[in-house]
Amino acid sequence: MAKLAFLGLGVMGAPMAGHLQKAGHEVTVYNRTESKAQDWVKTYGGAMAKTPREAAKDADFVMACVGNDDDLRSVCLGDDGAFGGMTAGAIFVDHTTVSAAVTRELYAAADAAQVSFIDAPISGGQAGAENGQLSIMCGGDAGAFDRAQPVMEVYAKICRRIGDSGAGQMTKMCNQIAIAGLVQGLSEALHFAEKAGLDGRAVVEVISQGAAGSWQMENRYETMLDDEFNHGFAVDWMRKDLGICLDAADETGASLPVTALVDQFYKDVQKLGGARWDTSSLIKRLRAMG
């Protein structure tokens, strides 16, 4: 078993760190809001630290799942940052969804500190984190990934290295691009069924068994029909991710017209007061239009 640090105890990070502790690893946690770290220790055991650097001291692996580019920089760099506390040869695994640019920046900073950096964004939502069924898409050096993979597999359904540093984040962008279009299509289908006077549940029972079926349909159609949108990944976070996708599209020359449109639809949802609704709330926008 390894000595680990876990930085960031949100709805994803807390259960992920919990799986590591339950698996027998020695886990020290850090969270910006200290009370969350205290609650985690009461629930799972392990230890907590006052700073990322303190948490990372002597750790074999440091995992992070924070909010955005700036949050990630803050836990990695500076006097209290994790890189300053890590020993040569240790591995930093970032599960945050951030830009490929900050990933490559921190990969270089980690290399200068004689530690490895793996970008390993996750998909599967809060339920996936709680059930240990996340999809993890990774970028970074093959040797570091091979060492980190058994640790990540504690909470993974699938964990794969896609390529060099940044490849994990670029793959996560593909994931978010695909989800955006799927949720909009599902929202329109259910809205159309409502307007046509059809039984939405009966419609989904039939079409989900054919080519229209998807994870989104299977897991979100009932709550969408019931106008319930409190199931994890929030609209605010989706817009952050889609912004990263659209910026990267400008850099790579990719064309993302549907993604850009759905991003604006999520902006409309924010204006409806849905910043913290989950991403399936796109149907609320259609209902509000009449």
Show which residues are catalytic: 172
Contact 245, 177 (CB under 8 A): yes
Q: How many CB atoms lie within 10 A of CB 280?
A: 23
**Strand 156-163 to strand 134-139: parallel, antiparallel, or no bridges (unpaired)?**
parallel
Per-residue HEC secondary structure of 125-142 comes to HHHHHHHCCEEEEEECCH
Element (H, E) at 208: none
DSSP state for residue 211 in the 8-state scheme: T
Q: How many CA atoms lie within 13 A of 67 on its CB side?
A: 9
**DSSP structural state of residue 72:** H
